[in-house]
Structure 1
Amino acid sequence: MVLQTIRRLVLGQTRWAPNYPIDPTDTVLPVFYFDDTPLLRNYVQCSTLRFNDVLDAAMLRESLSQLIALPGWRKLGGRVRMNSKYKLEIHIPKTFSSQRPAFGFHHTTFDTSIDEHPLASRLPKPTPEKPSIHNQHSDFNTFEVPPDTPLCLDDYLKSDHPQLTLHIVSFTDATLVSICWPHIAVDGISLAHIGHAWSISLAGRVSEIPSMLSANDDPMANAGRDSSCTEQHPLEKQQITGWRMYLFAFYYVLDLLWWRTIETKVLFLPKTFVKDLRDQALSSLCKERPAPFVSESDAIVAWLTVAVTSTLFPSGSNRSVTIGNAYDLRGRAPSLFPVSNGKGAYIQNAVFPCWAIVPAKKVHNRDEDTLGSIALAVRRSIQEQTTEASIHAQARLTRDSLEVSGIPPMFGDVNQFTIHFASVRADLAESLDFRPAIKSVFRSSERQNPTKSVWAASLGHPVYYHIKCISPNNILARNYSLITKTSTGDYWINGNCPPEVWKLMESMISDFVPWLHGQGDQRWPRVGSTGGTASHFRGRLCFCTGSPKLYLFGAIAPSCSRALMQPEGDVSARTAGQIHLNISRRKTVTTIED
């Protein structure tokens, strides 16, 4: 009884609407075990892509129809149903028709430029010179989610709506393409595979479309059941089980009550900013031998973790922060997925999380080691928990946990606060090539005037996209960030965080002085100038061998071989540039000499 209560609190809805009348001529295929989980059942997502081209909507519709008509790929055109054992199934029409189409389709046309439309002009745009935060207005749904689109499992069960919905919005110089999809059918990597196959179909090369390998038989059927894989999961001894699960539920409910509101926003990080983040992380780790590797994504995850933890917990907190990082199993577990990428497509959920556990008070230190230590913890969790043996171990633990509580295994302290991340490797934007659908009589106004364009030239490819959960009250949409990298090296982050986190992040961005190499003289205060109060700078100044820069919550510094941190009190520091800083607590910065 208690476990069922916890399950309802964590997962939300646990009772479902009756099925829409079943057509006996439908082909019935299973929803696989790791697809049909309580967390994924009520999770519907929408991906919206912007093209700075006018695309032929009819060609996009026809080419996607051709793809889903192929053997194996037909599963994407099925309807979601629940059998007598409360397991989900996919019912595929014998023939797709206007009455029972392969996917929902809507097309809206505006006879205006996207930049002149009162709402579309407010869609996120890159800011190459600095980071920026963009609101995800609820009104944007008019471009993304057409009427009658299923928003949850109940909507699918009580209707004959297909799984996918394609919504195209055309302007005189741009096109928005949105795809809504249930998570039980597709994960982020699968969506990229669909985009690649769709592009091949659009190009008229249907014979080259890879086989769909996840139609009838579950590739993950033996995950966690292979007798040859007996190793323990690296965090198995830290799994939360038994009576500790009740304490975990207590803290979880407390967090829900304390931070009820979640806001969805989009964060843009230019490549120069991300380079500084990674350089700071690496410079703080240079004492270790051999020097460890951390990626740009690791540094971004660490920086976002600092923002969330600094906002939500006091400096003396004894809680831990568990950083969940989703990773793709394809390519890491050949015993489950033997066919290499390009020769076939596994369209299913093949993603597990790896976990890095750090104390909240360690994040609050905000010294020069903070960013690097968190980034390294993330990197080591990936290295240790994504081996094939660890994948089988986690699959075993997941099966056991789902059978007992309906909740996937959790690791760490019972009072942990979990932050979820996903860093997209097989990028949807790179997989799509819609050049054959471009209407040649039109050209983007921004492409005609490159001087005003902030977009990278990308003919027939999306210049921007975001993914968001459209299901109400879904637990996976809380404290979750999706990190995607553009072809130019910039990053878009789709985040769901409490409003307080976004406010701090805005402050972190506005306080940041982008000290790029060769630009210091223009951006650093001159002799005798007032740069701010010491209480404002306290804990944020970093003195480096190289150019000086604001040290932002242990997150930002230029590439340097050594970083010294002075959180408060009188400071006199000398860098290679012979810069003297005299700072006293509660006093203004009055002298900066060079």
Structure 2
Amino acid sequence: MASRLNRLEGSFRTYAPTPNLKFDVIPINALDTTHLVKPFVTAYYVYLEGCLDSRKLRDSLEALVIQKYRVLASRLTSALDYFYVPRPESISRDSLVAFEFSSNQRLEHTVKSAVPSIGHLNARSDQITLHPGPPDLGIFEGPKRALDEYFQHPNQPELNSPILKVHVEVLSDATFLSVQIPHLVTDARGFETILRSWATVMNNSLDEAPSPTPLGWNPLHGLGDSSKPANNSELIPSGWSCLVGDSVTKLMEATLKEFEEEPVTKNMSLHIPSSEIRRLRREAQQDISNTQLSENDVLFAFLVRTWAASCASPSSTVVHLSFPIDLRSQLPERFAVHAGVYLHNGVFPVPLLRPLTVAQLQAMSLGAVALEVRKTITHLTQDVQEPVVEWVLANLNQNPIPRGIDGLSFVVSSWRRIKFLDMEFRGATLNPLGTGGRLAQIGISSSGHVPARRVCVVECDDGDGGVWCGMDLPEGDWTRGAFGTIKRNTVTPN
């Protein structure tokens, strides 16, 4: 076993600019070029059980990118309006141009010794617990990439680095993946498709991995005609605003002031077991007699009220609440058979029907806040939603945002329907018994020129009906009871 592990040393690819690349120039879909998506680089954190072979992980992903997912080998220019996708004859393992890959072996460490505070090992089935978020785990090397690092040669895309960057940390009993990619390339469901296809190549064969949609396919083709009267820039949909002129300065000044006045926060991983989800739903439903609340409604309400309890803004401050919906299911006839293999952004933000103040959120019951969510979802018919999508696409130059210019915003993004935990990378295991490779936890963080504040992501199931959430919360003593049943999770290192 030890000799096999030692052969993992030096498992990495380095990127070398290749001026002889030939490209297919593919327009980036309009939904991916909105400023709600465009500025951000996303980093996915993936925790796999067992010691895995980083060479096999690299080779299988490389084969997938070269043979089927060429868009993941793209280069970008500063305009961010086209993917420069290397042609098949330009991509090969010999030229090393598909993506950047690095790995690090810490085989003398177990998860408990390397990251004793990791949430997966310390979650409880009887109460909500807090754990350090992925950026605080200290198991990844190097700083997170900024968006402008992808186009240091704006007019020579062949000299720019690939859009996909993967780092692997291998411990004796666990493997961690860090996958960085510009948000305009993929959303969470698209990343699920990439991961699942990668696992299929690893475990079975490249032929069995699904092929993505054709390069340049746009499911929203035909939407966004600015000449239509309904798309007049002055007909702003309810709950939306436009960031133009003085409103840009006003919002930036308010954001900077908020940074100065709000308490220091850190990214935390919040575990809510299934027993607590059921309890919260019962509690919320007691206050609401005429409407059936879903678990997602209640989770949204709970997370919003958790944040509101720590908010230092004046009680009269308006809070604009919103959540993303997946247009793959909201507009099914547009995505049709390709919905399951569409890598790019299919999500669209939805503001709640009415904004609330900090004081209202602090005073309202769990059920009352959940009801506001349910009313908004009930209102979301296709006839209502598609015109809003079309208006936004027709007015991208107005920088539409799903909130008012005044006040604060809070976004809850739920991935609960994405079955991340149903996949495993058993083909890469170094265990002689062939066990290991199960995906145990996943998280996300993002970077941009303006930080995304107050965004909570319900990231994945915990395997037993509970959920993991990523959320920025204030530092401090969480045992004081200000957050109800949430308690700080303290772990003493071995």
Q: TM-score range by the shorter chain?
A: 0.7 to 0.9
User: Within 5 Å, which residues of 2 pair with 1:71-470?
Assistant: 71=68, 73-82=69-78, 87-92=81-86, 94-117=90-113, 119-125=114-120, 126-136=123-133, 140=137, 143-144=139-140, 146-147=141-142, 150-158=145-153, 160-225=160-225, 236-240=237-241, 246=246, 250=250, 253-260=253-260, 261-286=264-289, 288=290, 292-312=291-311, 316-317=315-316, 319-339=317-337, 341-342=339-340, 345-356=341-352, 357-360=354-357, 361-366=359-364, 370-385=365-380, 387-404=381-398, 407-411=399-403, 413-427=404-418, 429-441=420-432, 459-469=436-446
Identity %: 19
What letter corresponds to residue 418 of structure 2 in structure 1? D
TM-superposition CA deviations, 1:232-255 (whole Å, max 9, x none): 9x9824543599x84686366324
What's the counterpart of residue 518 of structure 1?
none
Q: Name the counterpart of 2:44.
A: 47
1:403-451 deviation per Cα after TM superposition (whole angstroms, max 9, x unaligned): 13xx22334x54332101110044362353212222232799xxxxxxx
Cα–Cα, structure 1 residues 21 and 199, in superposed 2: closer, same or farther, change >3 Å? closer
Match of 2:61 among 49, 59, 64: 64
Paired residue secondary structure (2:443): strand
Q: 8 Å contact 1:358–1:374 — kept in the other structure?
A: no
Letter in 2 for 1:424: W
Say yes or no: does 1:478 pair with 2:453.
yes
User: What is the CA-CA distance between 1:349 and the residue it aligns to?
Assistant: 0.8
Q: Which structure 1 residue ranges, 5 or more long, are not aligned? A: 1-19, 445-458, 515-594
CA contact (8 A) 2:131 2:269 kept: yes
Secondary structure in structure 2 of the residue aligned to 1:122: coil
Partner SS, residue 471 of structure 2: strand
Is the Cα contact below 8 Å between 1:278 and 1:296 reproduced in 2? yes
Tell me the distance in 2 between the aligned counterparts of 1:242 and 1:111: 50
TM-score by length of 1: 0.69
Give me the whole-angstrom Cα distance separating, in 2, the residues matched to 1:506 and 1:92.
54
CA-to-aligned-CA distance 1:514-549 (integer Å, 9 cap, x gap): 9xxxxxxxxxxxxxxxxxxxxxxxxxxxxxxxxxxx
Tell me the residue number matched to 2:7. Answer: none
Gap change, CA 1:428 and 1:255, over 3 Å in 2:
same
Alpha carbons 2:127, 2:485 under 8 Å: kept: no
Q: CA deviation digits over 1:497-522, x for unaligned, max 9?
A: 4x2xx5586644775399xxxxxxxx
Q: 1:397 to 1:98 in 2, by over 3 A?
A: same
- Tell me: higher relative CO, structure 1 or 2? Use CA pairs within 8 A at least 6 residues apart: 2
Over residues 23-76 of structure 1, what are the superposed CA-to-partner deviations in whole Å (9 max), with x where a residue is unaligned?
5622322222111233333311111122221222222222212211224x1111
The within-5 A match list for 1:547-562 is none
Conservation of the 8 A alpha-carbon contact between 2:272 and 2:467: yes
Give the AA of the match of 2:30.
Answer: Y
Q: Separation in 1 of the partners of 2:249 and 2:255?
A: 10
CA–CA distance in 2 between the matches of 1:513 and 1:30?
46
Q: Which residue of 2 aligns with 1:553?
A: none
CA contact 1:219–1:337 (8 Å) conserved in 2: yes
Aligned residues: 454
In 2: Cα distance, 1:148 partner to 1:160 partner: 18
Higher mean C-alpha displacement, 417-426 vs 395-404: 395-404
Contact 1:81 1:91 in 2 (8 A): no
Residue-by-residue CA offset, 1:86-137 (whole Å, 9 max, x unaligned): 63432325223354331211111112242453x4223223232322212237
1:319-354 deviation line (CA, Å, top 9, x unaligned): 332211111111221332111555xx1110111011
1:395 partner SS: helix
Unpaired runs of 5+ in structure 2? 1-16, 154-158, 488-494
2: CA distance, partners of 1:139 / 1:264: 8
Tell me which residue corresponds to 1:529: none
Supply the RMSD in Å over aligned alpha carbons: 3.3
Match of 2:491 in 1: none
SS, match of residue 80 in structure 1: coil
Supply the distance in 2 between the matched residues of 1:23 and 1:301 (Cα, whole angstroms). 50
Correspondence list, 1:17-32, <5 A: 23=20, 25-32=22-29
Larger-Rg structure:
1
**What do the CA deviations read for 1:156-195 (whole angstroms, capped 9, x no partner)?**
4446321112211111111112211110101001000111
- The AA in structure 2 aligned to 1:53 is G
Q: Is the 8 A contact 2:458 2:467 kept in 1?
A: yes
| Partners of 1:505 and 1:358 in 2: CA distance | 28
Partners of 1:63 and 1:329 lie apart in 2 by: 30
Q: 1:218 to 1:22 in 2, by over 3 A?
A: farther
Q: Residue 313 of structure 1: CA displacement? A: 5.4
